[in-house]
């Protein structure tokens, strides 16, 4: 079994494809194996697993955490969603750039976005379940978000009127966030 690198973007983001064995009974895939991830240059240790379910048009994000820094390995296990990551590292050559890809239970791809990225997703099927492994334990005292439709980032979301949480509706733009926060986390 192997996990293949399908694409790389934004100075650290990786799209991965696990090898899948299918037959009349169903399928089997190894979605995480430390030795395979080490070969791909992903040496982080995962300490928390999250699982969410959302209906069509729900957009969650763009979320990030700085203490402890949190990278995420994201995949869709039911349905389909447009997964997005934005580089928010102040001195990164790809600061403010975004990457998005439609990930589904059918294509079984995964996106690795290291710490220093804001991440989000928008559900494009009737519902979707997203699972993500995290490199940091969640802390509500050191987490925030970037406005989902920040015009300077220009994400091309697949829905025009997404369903948003109250918190996501009033998030700061990336420029506002970077001006008000000087954490070492944001320095590349």
Question: Known catalytic residues?
Answer: 63, 132
* Distance between CA atoms of residues 128 and 10, nearest Å: 26
CA 106 to each of CA 27, 40, 54: distance values in angstroms, whole numbers, following the listed order: 11, 23, 17
* Distance between CA atoms of residues 71 and 16, nearest Å: 15
Sequence-ordered list of residues with C-beta below 8 angstroms from that of 155, at least 6 positions apart, any chain:
84, 86, 98, 100, 148, 149
CA-based nearest residue to 14, from 101, 123, 89, 138: 101
65: tokens are 């955490």
* Distance between CA atoms of residues 151 and 132, nearest Å: 27
DSSP letter (8 states) at residue 186: G
**In the block, which residue shows the tokens 């750039």?**
97
Using DSSP's 3-state secondary structure scheme, residue 71 falls into coil
Phi, psi of 125 (to 5 degrees): -115, 180
């Amino acid at each position: 079994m192997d996990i293949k690198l399908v694409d790389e973007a934004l100075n650290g983001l990786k799209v991965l494809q696990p090898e899948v064995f299918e037959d009349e009974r169903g399928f089997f895939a190894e979605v995480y194996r430390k030795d395979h991830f080490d070969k791909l240059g992903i040496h982080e240790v995962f300490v928390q697993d999250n699982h969410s379910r959302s209906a069509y048009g729900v957009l969650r994000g763009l979320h990030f955490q700085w203490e402890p820094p949190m990278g995420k390995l994201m995949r869709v296990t039911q349905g389909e969603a447009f997964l997005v990551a934005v580089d928010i590292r102040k001195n990164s050559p790809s600061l403010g750039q975004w990457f998005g890809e439609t990930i589904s239970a059918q294509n079984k791809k995964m996106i690795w976005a290291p710490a220093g990225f804001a991440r989000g997703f928008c559900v494009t099927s009737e519902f979707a379940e997203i699972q993500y492994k995290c490199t940091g334990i969640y802390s509500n005292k050191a987490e925030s978000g970037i406005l989902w439709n920040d015009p300077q980032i220009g994400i091309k979301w697949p829905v025009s009127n997404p369903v948003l949480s109250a918190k996501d509706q009033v998030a700061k733009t990336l420029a506002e966030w970077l001006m008000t926060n000087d954490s070492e986390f944001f320095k590349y």
